Amino acid sequence: MGNGFTIVEAATTLTSLNSMLNQDVGRTRDKYNHLKAVFPDFLRYTDDTSDRRIWRLRTLRFAGLLLTADIDFRSSAHPFPGRNFKRWLRWLTWLQVMPDPATVLINSVPVGGTPDAEHPAQAVMETIRLTLEDPNGKCRCEWGERAAMVVEVGRRSPNYSITVWSKKEQDVGGPHDNDEDEL
Q: What are phi and psi of 127, to 5 degrees?
A: -70, -40
- pLDDT number for residue 179: 42
**Cβ-contact 172, 2 below 8 angstroms:** yes
Q: Which residues of the chain have pLDDT under 70?
A: 1-13, 70-84, 99, 168-183
- pLDDT number for residue 82: 47
Nearest CA-CA partner of 155 in 183, 172, 133, 178: 133
Instruction: List, in order, residues 6 or more apart from 12 with CB less than 8 Å away.
Output: 79, 80, 81, 82, 83
Burial class (CB in 10 A: 0-12, 13-18, 19+), 173: exposed
- pLDDT number for residue 176: 46
Burial class (CB in 10 A: 0-12, 13-18, 19+), 18: middle
CA distances from 164 to 31, 92, 148, 182 (A): 24, 12, 11, 23
- pLDDT number for residue 30: 95
Write down the pTM of the prediction.
0.82
| Cis? peptide before 158, omega within 30° of 0 | yes
- pLDDT number for residue 145: 83
Name the residue ranges covered by the structural domains of the chain. 7-168
Helices (H), 75-181: 85-97, 120-133
- pLDDT number for residue 25: 94
